[in-house]
Structure 1
Amino acid sequence: GAPRALVRRAAPRAKAVSSDAVVLGPGDSVESDTEYEAHLTSDLPAPNVLATASKQHTQGTHIVCTLGPSSRTVEQCEDLLRAGMSVARFNFSHGSYEYHSETLANLRKASENTGIMCAVLQDTKGPEVRTGFLESGDKCTYEMGSEVTITADYEAKGNPNLVAVSYKDIASTVSPGSKILCADGSLMFEVLSCNPDAGTVQARALNTATIGERKNCNLPGAIVNLPVLTEKDKADLTEWGLVEGIDFLAASFVRKASDVQEVRETLGADSGVRIISKIENQEALDNIDEIIRESDGIMVARGDLGMEIPLEKMFEVQKDIIRRCNIAGKPVVTATQMLESMVNNPRPTRAEATDVANAVLDGTDSVMLSGETAAGAFPVEAVTIMASITREAERCIDNTKLANDFIDRSMEDGTMSDIESLASSAVQTALKTNAKAIVCLAASGVAARLISKYRPSQPVIVGVVPREARAAIGFRSKTPGRMLARQCLISRGLIPVMVSPKDTDVAPAAAAKQAIEESIAYGVQQGVLEKGDKVVTLYNVEKQCAVIRMMTCE
């Protein structure tokens, strides 16, 4: 049979992760009493292991692509959409408003030309600690074993004996024995002593390295007292993101639930923008459950997180975060260096291909490409290969066992909500009857996301009703329809389509049935369904009446 993969099972009841629950020293575990359970099919005969996924297998795992110099023209965006891009990421660590607006206009034109929907995610630069300027004005070499003064006086010019940093509280944040990493970890210091009054730290270089000006710094394990949104971030949101109509905001360096609340207040109650919290440091790991509860989704940002924790712990932390998000029913994105070698090469390494597949087996909803699509030589090839890998990984999952496990987990925390009970029932019905798809109507997206939570093997066609047509069915959500449809593109297995009842003066049940039929017709048009296929449908009528039906494509 095929090899079985280990999938982390989270603790039965959600609880805040204490600092000693995510102990990151050698030999320690993320959670000592955590069990593992396999969710892979164990009956794949050897010849089938080498068979490719069926052409009818609809890609369930979504792909987030960072747009940049290699991927910002209309033609380039069209190619990415056809290859499998579901969400376009705009990285606000780089570029002007004019640059990003031009890219977004090109993306929307490409979406119109291809008829392929794409969500827009704005990624904040976030708070950061950087080294200062240098006496040489260029680069400086620090020798292993040399003692260096690290100062919070950012006006000071660096030299082989001095490093200026932009964080004024550094001397009261780190302690003797702490590590300070500069330039993505290429230069490492160990703290010898601290002088908070002078704002200085004495440190020893642990390796020899040459770095330039204004390089990033990481303080592993330290609680950094910086706001989650800088003044630049707030301006980027209010002057660009909300004006341009983004669908998601990826909030950098979220550390606790109150950070998410602050971001939500900045966005405003009526923005409709969904918040994806990026997990990038130890404090966020300590508060992971409260962050998940407050967020609309989570990003496992392995770049900065990998600077904060030992590398040998990364796989364990990734599995744990993904599992917690799965149980909470929140979409999770796995990011950073997934196909890094494809920045320069037309094919990924074997390790990268396995990394993408394992993220899918862990339970991620989406996988993300950064430099591979933003500035790489082979952006379309990267998306094409990533889509192929995710499809292969998905066909190895035992969806029935996975759905039953999630149901058991949900019941351990008490009774389900009515809508979650209906969503899980729809998934079980589809699995037991071998239906070809699940079709649901959406006015808020809650039911669709809960169906995705239970990981059906079938695609989930989400008929999104425009705001002006919702009254006919009894829906009351105010979220704009197209925004709601695009926001489905980050949850595994969801295929959104805009639908409207043909007749608005009929009874709500009849209007809902018309919208369902239009959703099914879209599935046939896209090749997801064929005439004669069975589908499971789920929809609400007049707020309180919910219907699960078996239907046949005609």
Structure 2
Amino acid sequence: MAAAAGGEQLAAWGEEPVLGRRPKTKIVCTLGPASRSVEMISRLLRAGMCVARFNFSHGSHEYHQETLDNLRAAMERTGILCAVMLDTKVGPSPLAPFSISAVARLVLQFAICDFGVGLPCRLLHLVPLRDLDLRCDLWFLISAPPLFGRFCGPEIRTGFLKDGKPVQLKKGQEITISTDYSIKGDEKMISMSYKKLAVDLKPGSVILCADGTITLTVLHCDKEQGFVRARCENTSMLGERKNVNLPGVIVDLPTLTDKDKEDILKWGVPNKIDMIALSFVRKGSDLVEVRKVLGEHAKSIMLMSKVENQEGVANFDDILAHSDAFMVARGDLGMEIPIEKIFFAQKVMIFKCNIQGKPVVTATQMLESMIKSPRPTRAEATDVANAVLDGTDCVMLSGETAAGAYPELAVQTMAKICLQAESCVDHAAVFKYIMASAPIPMSPLESLASSAVRTANSAKAALILVLTRGGTTARLVAKYRPFMPILSVVVPELKTDSFDWTCSDEGPARQSLIVRGVIPMLSATTAKAFDSEATEEALGFAIENAKAMGLCNTGESVVALHRIGIASVIKLLTVN
């Protein structure tokens, strides 16, 4: 995304953002032990959280249900909408036993013996923030896959080890890898969870373990026995169930595991979640399969793809075409492609999402140091700002809010950085390059949306007001990145099948919370169609609320985009 330049802009960098103003860029927060109480969630909502991420690599359905109930109570308390994201992503591997404090292990062992595995998560609330190392140790122990016996998505992991003890691997040492996952590994042999390992690898292939801290080079593959002989390229300790990446290898694994399907159908669907973040999407047909699993619910749940390997990068355009939204998940992607190319992959992916009008989230280690520190590093602050300048719709916090010492401060800090970065965007230049890349011919709705932005820019309007049913029009307006905010007023739709009357829910409003610049609002008006009387009532309601929110003032211009019957209309209004 274009950034303004020149002395005037440099001088403006010293200006403080307007007090209480929210950034157009949305913030996704991962809820966890440090942030799942009603009180803390309320504080996160007020600080700027727009989307709550539920990481299903950690915790049971009951645990997440309690968190969701708390989120809904917090929304009721604050009057602030928040979308719900279910993430099928496997979290970090459990830390090696030697790196966990003895106190944490004793606390966890005591809790499991006396109360069962479901309770330890609650222990984190009893650990003072000053004992942050103990708190983090407990978090990683509680979230460790061996505890719950689960891992999701098409990921590969190393197996268990004899007596649960990590093994020392030395540079130049040769080791055998078996696909028999029941084997307890040692210094001579370990196991990996991918059955086709010996088939898909070849001499010279590279295996990365434990977030890339261990590199193995393949020497020989025994396809019949399922063995791979490899050489260690560095000295390191290997713990149990560490993540494995095979750069350049197309792995034959399902997009959704049975556990993923259970999480989605038995927890996500009944709870009317707004979106699903899918890990390791490799081709467009993966999205088709997920929609088949969702069945009739596919229309009401957004699918957000994460490309985390080279196969996904190669099929990016196909994946994006089948996705409702996209996440630039830089963690695993950074294991699959050279680290020096991550910045370029991020910029290309965001650019393509912007051109297609698909919401895009930038994630992974954005303010990582704030898990323990009240201030981010300069590099992290710059990273967040650059993601905004690249054109991201959302930025995401993971461990910072899930298990960090400063969850509220992390959100506040991210919001401030986003506001400052947004003040440097050259919106006129952005509008031009998106228009230059627009489809020819444009659809009537997109033509109208781009015209509304052009009108608002020319009139120096304070606000673009969109009346919508499902949020599509507001998202198209947001694609052209207007300088002013977009108030998306979702008018509930009254439907009848001759036997029953139903009114559409607030799902479309919540789903707009991942779109840059869009402020969703539920209209008090409900009608079977957009007639002139209902439209005027909805417009009046919206403008009064916009004034109350400080989005516009008396005498300022507002561009309104709505329908009357089957006709779409753009109006230039003056606020009374």
Q: TM-score, normalised by structure 2?
A: 0.86
Indicate the residue corresponding to 1:44 in structure 2.
8
The 1:344–1:407 alpha-carbon spacing in structure 2 relative to 1, beyond 3 Å, is: same
- Matches of 1:402 and 1:506, distance apart in 2: 35
Residues 495-521 of structure 1 show CA distances to partners (whole Å, capped at 9, x for unaligned) of 00000338x599802211211221122
Task: Give 1:42 shift.
Answer: 3.9
Indicate the residue corresponding to 2:218 in structure 1.
191
Indicate the residue corresponding to 1:526 in structure 2.
549
SS at match of 1:435: coil
Task: Give 1:54 shift.
Answer: 3.0
- Matches of 1:407 and 1:58, distance apart in 2: 27
Task: Give 1:47 shift.
Answer: 2.9
CA contact 1:444–1:479 (8 Å) conserved in 2: no
Of residues 339, 346, 358, the one that matches 2:367 is 339
Of residues 238, 249, 258, the one that matches 2:265 is 238
- Matches of 2:162 and 2:428, distance apart in 1: 63
The 1:144–1:190 alpha-carbon spacing in structure 2 relative to 1, beyond 3 Å, is: same
CA contact 2:494–2:504 (8 Å) conserved in 1: no
Equivalent residue runs for 1:438-457 within 5 Å? 438-457=464-483
Task: Give 1:389 shift.
Answer: 0.4
Equivalent residue runs for 1:393-404 within 5 Å? 393-404=421-432
Of residues 291, 296, 300, the one that matches 2:324 is 296
Task: Give 1:470 shift.
Answer: 11
Indicate the residue corresponding to 2:180 in structure 1.
153
SS at match of 2:181: coil
The letter for the 1-side match of 2:398 is S
SS at match of 1:168: coil
Residues 169-205 of structure 1 show CA distances to partners (whole Å, capped at 9, x for unaligned) of 0111122222111111121111112121221111111
Indicate the residue corresponding to 1:274 in structure 2.
302
The 1:193–1:447 alpha-carbon spacing in structure 2 relative to 1, beyond 3 Å, is: same
1:132 aligns with 2:156: no
CA contact 2:310–2:337 (8 Å) conserved in 1: yes
1:211 aligns with 2:238: yes
CA contact 1:430–1:438 (8 Å) conserved in 2: yes
Indicate the residue corresponding to 2:35 in structure 1.
71
Indicate the residue corresponding to 1:100 in structure 2.
64
Task: Give 1:43 shift.
Answer: 5.6
Equivalent residue runs for 1:334-373 within 5 Å? 334-373=362-401
Stretch deviating more after TM superposition (45-54 or 280-289): 45-54
Residues 509-546 of structure 1 show CA distances to partners (whole Å, capped at 9, x for unaligned) of 2211211221122211112222222110001222x300
The letter for the 2-side match of 1:331 is P
SS at match of 1:539: strand
Stretch deviating more after TM superposition (360-369 or 518-527): 518-527
The 1:58–1:372 alpha-carbon spacing in structure 2 relative to 1, beyond 3 Å, is: closer
Task: Give 1:46 shift.
Answer: 4.0
* Aligned-residue identity in percent: 51
Residues 416-439 of structure 1 show CA distances to partners (whole Å, capped at 9, x for unaligned) of 100000000001111111100100
Indicate the residue corresponding to 1:3 in structure 2.
none
Which ranges of structure 1 fall in alignment gaps of 5 or more residues? Answer: 1-6, 8-37, 472-477
- Matches of 1:235 and 1:149, distance apart in 2: 35
- Matches of 1:470 and 1:117, distance apart in 2: 27
Task: Give 1:277 shift.
Answer: 0.5
Indicate the residue corresponding to 2:109 in structure 1.
none
- Matches of 1:341 and 1:446, distance apart in 2: 37
Equivalent residue runs for 1:302-313 within 5 Å? 302-313=330-341
Indicate the residue corresponding to 1:392 in structure 2.
420
Task: Give 1:39 shift.
Answer: 4.0
Indicate the residue corresponding to 1:437 in structure 2.
463
SS at match of 1:260: helix
- Matches of 1:209 and 1:388, distance apart in 2: 40
Indicate the residue corresponding to 1:548 in structure 2.
570
Residues 400-431 of structure 1 show CA distances to partners (whole Å, capped at 9, x for unaligned) of 11112111111xx4211000000000011111
- Matches of 1:229 and 1:218, distance apart in 2: 18
Of residues 77, 81, 100, the one that matches 1:117 is 81
- Matches of 2:529 and 2:191, distance apart in 1: 70
Task: Give 1:44 shift.
Answer: 2.6
CA contact 1:149–1:162 (8 Å) conserved in 2: yes
- Matches of 1:46 and 1:392, distance apart in 2: 12
SS at match of 2:228: strand
SS at match of 1:171: helix
The 1:188–1:270 alpha-carbon spacing in structure 2 relative to 1, beyond 3 Å, is: same
The letter for the 2-side match of 1:287 is N
The 1:470–1:325 alpha-carbon spacing in structure 2 relative to 1, beyond 3 Å, is: farther
The letter for the 2-side match of 1:546 is S
The letter for the 1-side match of 2:523 is V
Of residues 427, 434, 440, the one that matches 2:453 is 427
- Matches of 1:55 and 1:108, distance apart in 2: 27
- Matches of 1:178 and 1:334, distance apart in 2: 30
Of residues 489, 507, 512, the one that matches 2:535 is 512
CA contact 2:328–2:361 (8 Å) conserved in 1: yes
Which ranges of structure 2 fall in alignment gaps of 5 or more residues? Answer: 89-151
- Matches of 1:277 and 1:165, distance apart in 2: 26
Aligned residues: 508
The 1:204–1:390 alpha-carbon spacing in structure 2 relative to 1, beyond 3 Å, is: same
- Matches of 1:222 and 1:73, distance apart in 2: 42
CA contact 2:494–2:503 (8 Å) conserved in 1: no
- Matches of 2:528 and 2:253, distance apart in 1: 55
- Matches of 1:470 and 1:440, distance apart in 2: 25
The letter for the 2-side match of 1:167 is Y
SS at match of 1:44: helix
Indicate the residue corresponding to 1:83 in structure 2.
47
- Matches of 1:431 and 1:551, distance apart in 2: 14
The ranges of structure 1 where at least 4 consecutive aligned residues each deviate by more than 4 angstroms after the TM superposition are 504-507
Indicate the residue corresponding to 2:516 in structure 1.
492
CA contact 1:462–1:496 (8 Å) conserved in 2: yes
CA contact 1:462–1:519 (8 Å) conserved in 2: no
Indicate the residue corresponding to 1:12 in structure 2.
none
The 1:108–1:85 alpha-carbon spacing in structure 2 relative to 1, beyond 3 Å, is: same
CA contact 1:335–1:368 (8 Å) conserved in 2: yes
The letter for the 2-side match of 1:317 is A
Of residues 249, 257, 264, the one that matches 1:222 is 249
Stretch deviating more after TM superposition (490-499 or 268-277): 268-277
SS at match of 2:162: coil
The letter for the 1-side match of 2:486 is V
Indicate the residue corresponding to 1:417 in structure 2.
443
The letter for the 2-side match of 1:486 is R
Q: TM-score, normalised by structure 1?
A: 0.89
The answer to which structure has the higher helix fraction is 2
- Matches of 1:193 and 1:507, distance apart in 2: 68
SS at match of 2:190: strand
